[in-house]
Structure 1
Amino acid sequence: MNNKITTLLLLLFFAFSFQSCKDDNKDNTTPPTSILGDASKAYLSGAVPSLDIQIDYITGFKPTNQTIVNLKNFLSARLNKPGGISVSLREIPSPQNSKYTIEQIRTLETQNRTVSSSLSTMSAYVIYLDNDYIESQGNQVVLGIAYSSTSFAIFEKTIKSLSGGLGEPSETTLESAVTQHEFGHLLGLVNTGTPITSNHHDEANGAHCTNNDCLMHYSIQTGTSLGNLLGGNIPDLDIDCIRDLQANGGK
């Protein structure tokens, strides 16, 4: 009984928070900077039966169709969403930033996000950008970043520069891996909203998995193990990450 009450209160909290987000967007204020992983249980469980994903992309930096298919398949395998998962794509103009800060990304979300969550539908906002992250320098790059409980950005220009060439993974493979990795952070992996059920948290590298072959290994976010993606192999979640999701309401 207590668990049911707790779940209901959590869902009511998110419904209120995300409705506020929708209203704030109309007022052109900053999107919520809610803690990453706070929405993990609502994403994973069937208590909120549907998921609505808004994908914005800067002109010329649209993700491939197969990347979207791969994302939906990944989420369908791990989320209890009997009402279905929908994805909408929209092209937006470039703000002409030479590099992106978190604040600039949040501003774009404020200006463009239209999806919001309710007791029946969870939402997520994804944006594919036309330049690098401010902290990317030389060989030390960031390919994606989850910056709130329902939002993440993909640095598509950086991905394009590291894919499609000789000895490099295809654009779809790298793009898919990074997109799924960042959504994994919204689901609370690793140990950020979804508690770990075994000792696989790579604390030295943030919210990542110790298994080199896991989708949630830090190298997916930083592009340091691109050789593992050759041949079109998109890493899966390892058994430890899967068990974490299952214990928090997922499949």
Structure 2
Amino acid sequence: MKNKLLTALFLALIFSSCSNENTSSSENNTINKAANRQATGSSANDLLSDNVFKSITIEIVYVEGFEPTQTAVDNFISFLTDRTNKPNGIVTEKRAIASPGKDVYTINDIADIEREHRKYYNTEDDIAVWAYFSDGKSDSDSEENNTVVLGSAYWNTSFVIYEETLQGFSNQPLEPKRWLLESTVINHEFGHIFGLTNLGSAMQSDHEDTEHPKHCNDEDCLMYWATESSVGIGNMANRNNVPQLDAQCIADLQANGGK
């Protein structure tokens, strides 16, 4: 087991862009790209409820050679199905792109990749999600602190998984199965997009970890800060199931339109 602290990093950031990047027109239909470039957690109700959006489109884009396992994709869809009210269902599209050619990516680099390659944005009754699986590593990795970043939620419908880094910590002796680590990081990041913890879905009880804000204080919860820590990863080596949300986090989602 590699002796590093593995983290899933959420970044509640809004990146500035020119107005002509935020809208585009096709056959007299205007796409408001800015609606998918808001703060992490701000679209929690739109994702959870059927008040406005009746379906979800998941756009899964990966760098060639770093495709997520189908098991992880299936687990992600199950996670969404269990927690969202979408009578018209959830649709996925998966495709590969060439490497952008960097060894290290800032979150602004990741956002620029999305701007270049994202095809789907919100429509009248469908909310679109961008899921990117990257080569290289995050610039937030720290040799000094012995930490690496596995994933980041950075906009209201966008997250990145650093798949090359993740592959280096899975499918080896004393390491978790790749699909299990992928599923854990994907679901954890989307938990932040769902507004957990105290990030857009109001807490129904006091369960935010004061030492690790925007994370749950239940050690067994998917949203516990150490879910991807060296301790958590070590424990995953001997398990075959993905960590689940605890009752407190589920109550927050239910109060915000979810199941």
2:244: which partner in 1? 236
- The alignment-based identity, stated in percent, is 37
Displacement of 1:204: 2.2
Structure 2: unaligned runs, 5 residues or longer: 1-20
Contact 1:22–1:115 (Cα < 8 Å) also in 2: no
2:176: which partner in 1? 169
Task: Flag the 1:120–1:32 CA change in 2: closer, same or farther, 3 A.
Answer: closer
Task: Flag the 1:248–1:32 CA change in 2: closer, same or farther, 3 A.
Answer: closer
1:246 and 1:21 map into 2 onto residues whose CA distance is 32
Displacement of 1:112: 0.5
2:34 and 2:85 map into 1 onto residues whose CA distance is 30
Aligned-partner SS, 2:219: coil
Task: Flag the 1:154–1:194 CA change in 2: closer, same or farther, 3 A.
Answer: same
1:108 and 1:30 map into 2 onto residues whose CA distance is 16
Report the TM-score, using the length of structure 1 for normalisation.
Answer: 0.86
Q: Pick one of 108, 130, 133 that aligns with 1:128.
A: 133
More helix by share: 1
2:119: which partner in 1? 114
User: Are 1:39 and 2:40 an aligned pair?
Assistant: no
Aligned-partner SS, 2:130: strand
Q: Pick one of 228, 234, 241 that aligns with 1:227.
A: 234
Displacement of 1:132: 1.2
Displacement of 1:231: 2.1
Contact 1:144–1:221 (Cα < 8 Å) also in 2: no
2:254: which partner in 1? 246
1:53 and 1:209 map into 2 onto residues whose CA distance is 26
> Aligned partner of 1:63: which letter?
P
Q: How many residues align?
A: 230
> Aligned partner of 1:226: which letter?
I
2:131 and 2:230 map into 1 onto residues whose CA distance is 19
Contact 1:53–1:124 (Cα < 8 Å) also in 2: yes
1:155 and 1:235 map into 2 onto residues whose CA distance is 20
- The ranges of structure 1 where at least 4 consecutive aligned residues each deviate by more than 6 angstroms after the TM superposition are none
CA RMSD across the alignment: 2.1
Contact 2:23–2:34 (Cα < 8 Å) also in 1: no
Task: Flag the 1:162–1:22 CA change in 2: closer, same or farther, 3 A.
Answer: farther
Aligned-partner SS, 1:127: strand
1:222 and 1:160 map into 2 onto residues whose CA distance is 16
Contact 2:188–2:222 (Cα < 8 Å) also in 1: yes
Structure 1: unaligned runs, 5 residues or longer: 1-19
1:215: which partner in 2? 222
More strand by share: 2
Aligned-partner SS, 2:81: helix
Which deviations, in whole Å up to 9, do the C-alpha atoms of 1:107-157 show, x marking residues without a partner?
000000011112310111010011111011233111100001110000111
Report the TM-score, using the length of structure 2 for normalisation.
Answer: 0.84
Which structure would you say has the larger RCO, counting Cα contacts within 8 Å and 6 or more residues apart?
2
1:155: which partner in 2? 162
Displacement of 1:208: 0.9
Which deviations, in whole Å up to 9, do the C-alpha atoms of 1:72-129 show, x marking residues without a partner?
1111000001100011101011111111101100000000001111231011101001
Task: Flag the 1:221–1:122 CA change in 2: closer, same or farther, 3 A.
Answer: farther
Task: Flag the 1:233–1:89 CA change in 2: closer, same or farther, 3 A.
Answer: same
